[in-house]
Structures are given as C-alpha cells and as structure tokens.
Amino acid sequence: MAGAEMYRVIVDSLSTHVAVLDENGIIVETNRAWQEFARKNGMRDPVDCVGLNYLSTCETGTCDEGDSLLIGRAIRQVIAGEIEEFLTQYPCHSPGEQRWYSLRVVPYRDRQARRVIVTHENITPIILAQEKLRSQEKELHRKTEKLEETNIALKVLLDHRQRDREQLEERIVANIRELAVPYLQKLLDSLLEQRQRTLVDIVVHHLDDIISPFLNRLSAINLLLTPQEIEVAAMVRQGKSSQEIADVLGVSVATISFHRKKLRRKLGLSRKGTNLRTYLLSLQ
C-alpha cells in the first residue's frame, strides 16, 4: 500500500470530522466521517464539500459552529502563521438530540502549500457527563444545606431542652431549699429522740445530695474536696452567709471562713478577683 493511500485509510478511519482548507479557506479534502455527518444532516451531493468556501461561510455568519466570526478570524490567523493552533467548543443540536463538538484548527505541515486542517470531534458524552456531575454537585449542595439547617434546628432544640432541664433543676433546688429544708432544720433544732434526729439528719443530707448536681462538675475536674467542704460549697452557691452556714453545720464562723479559703485555693481562685459563689454557679 502506497504511503498516500495508507494515510487516506487512516484519516477515513477516524471518527473525528476532518477537512483540509487551502489558503483561501476553500475545502480541498474531507474524510469519511465528515461526509457521513453531512449526509445524515440532509446535505445534498457532493457531501465531501470539496470546493465549498468554509472560511467565507464562517465570516458571513451562516455556519452553525458557535461564534462563526471568531472561528473565521482564527482560521485566517492560523493560515497566516500568526497563531499555532485554535481550539473551541460549540453546541450542534439537532431536533432529535443534543450534541456538542470540539473544533480545532491547526496548520497543514507542508512548506509547498499554505493550508489548515479543521477538525470537529463529538464531545457530547464528555459534556453530558460534566452536566450530570454539576447537577449532582448542585443536589449534594442542596442536601448539605438542608442537613445544616436540620443540624441548626436540632441544636436549637437541644439548647432549649438543656435550658428547660436546668430551669427545672433550679426550681426543684429552690423548692426543696425554701419549702423543705427549713422545716427539717426546725425539727433538728427541736427536742427529738436520737433515732428521730438521725432519720431527719439523713433526709437533710440526702436532699442536699439531690439538689447539688454541680458537685459532679467539681469531681469531673478532679478536685479533692472533703465532705464538709462540699457542704460549704453547696451552701455558698445557694447564697448563704458564713453565719448561716455555721449555724446549719453547727460550727464556728471562723471554721467556715477557713473552709472558704481552702475552697478558693483548690478552685484556683486564691489570686483572682472572682467571687466564690459566682464561680460555683458557673459550674452548673
């Protein structure tokens, strides 16, 4: 097989539409794919388009390849050697389907002839894949936004629930301190039998455990508080004065002051201006 014939077979085997233009933009050769496309799209013979001025068709705006004037100028620039190559994409839809093509213009490598090669390659699968990807990304973005909105709503709901729980806890604490503990303390101050006094004292201490949930925060930060320091901390947090705490625990005010100093030291408040009760409240 001669060289020219072999190259012809190769070019005709390509799925890309190939046309060779002379220096005036006239088509001098096309391949089989170009001709079959022309035939399928209703072009009358000769479907090889040889002799058609492709450049003139572009510059008059009568061809379908996207911005035909831009393509016409680019072909002239490649023919003149001003640019090495031109590449663009354009839609070429038919009534029955959507199609996109990539148009490339390169110089014809022959010193004896100033020509260019124009190719049209069907890139519809690539464009459709890109559009599908963009659609999926858009849907993913929409779902992500919806998920973020749901997360925000859930966070708000959880915050409300946490505040409600804390308010309920505070009401329980206040009710027990104001409505139960004072009367139990009066019982302790009255003439009770030893067994009765022991039972009332157990109730008081158990109620104190129930209404001191903030002690869990103290243990969480590994504070080594004695049982009496825990009791003092609980009553300081309730706003009790040193005298009131001393009366409840049956110790001197000086002892309560000592416990308060130890609490400040263990809580790291020795050199800070932070109020002890304010800090204990913050542990809730």
Helix H, strand E, coil C: the string for the chain is: CCHHHHHHHHHHHCCCEEEEECCCCEEEEECHHHHHHHHHCCCCCCCCCCCCEHHHHHHCCCCCCCCHHHHHHHHHHHHCCCCCCEEEEEECCECCECCEEEEEEEECCCCCCCCEEEEEEECHHHHHHHHHHHHHHHHHHHHHHHHHHHHHHHHHHHHHHHHHHHHHHHHHHHHHHHHHHHHHHHHHHCCCCHHHHHHHHHHHHHHHHHCCCCHHHHHHCCCCCCHHHHHHHHHHHCCCCHHHHHHHHCCCHHHHHHHHHHHHHHCCCCCCCCCHHHHHHHCC
Encode pLDDT of 130-143 as tens digits.
999 999 999 999 99
Ordered structural domains, the chain, with CATH:
3-122 (3.30.450.20), 170-282 (no CATH)
- pLDDT at residue 20, as a whole number: 94
Question: What average pLDDT does the structure give for the chain?
Answer: 84
Give CA–CA dist 118/90, Å, rounded: 14
Give CA–CA dist 63/25, Å, rounded: 14
Asked if residues 30 and 48 have their Cβ atoms less than 8 Å apart, the reply is yes
> 221 pLDDT exceeds 50?
no
Query: For residue 167, what are the CA distances in angstroms to 5, 171, 174, 228?
Result: 93, 6, 10, 27
Q: Categorize the per-residue pLDDT at 222 as very low, low, confident or very high, splitting at 50, 70 and 90.
A: very low
- Put simply, whether the predicted model's pTM sits higher than 0.75 gets the answer no
Encode pLDDT of 81-119 as tens digits.
899 999 999 888 877 888 899 999 999 877 777 899 999
Burial 139-149 (b: 16+ CB within 10 A, else e): eeeeeeeeeee
Which strands sit side by side in the sheet containing 17-21, from one edge to the other? 27-30, 17-21, 116-122, 100-107, 86-91
Asked if residues 115 and 108 have their Cβ atoms less than 8 Å apart, the reply is yes
Per the model's pLDDT, the better-predicted residue between 65 and 127 turns out to be 127
Give CA–CA dist 245/92, Å, rounded: 90
Q: Which two tokens stand for residue 221?
A: 């930060």
Beta-bridge partner residues of 182:
none
Per the model's pLDDT, the better-predicted residue between 58 and 211 turns out to be 58
Q: Tokens 């464009």 sit at which residue? A: 127
Encode pLDDT of 234-255 as tens digits.
888 888 899 988 888 889 999 9
Residue type, 54: Y
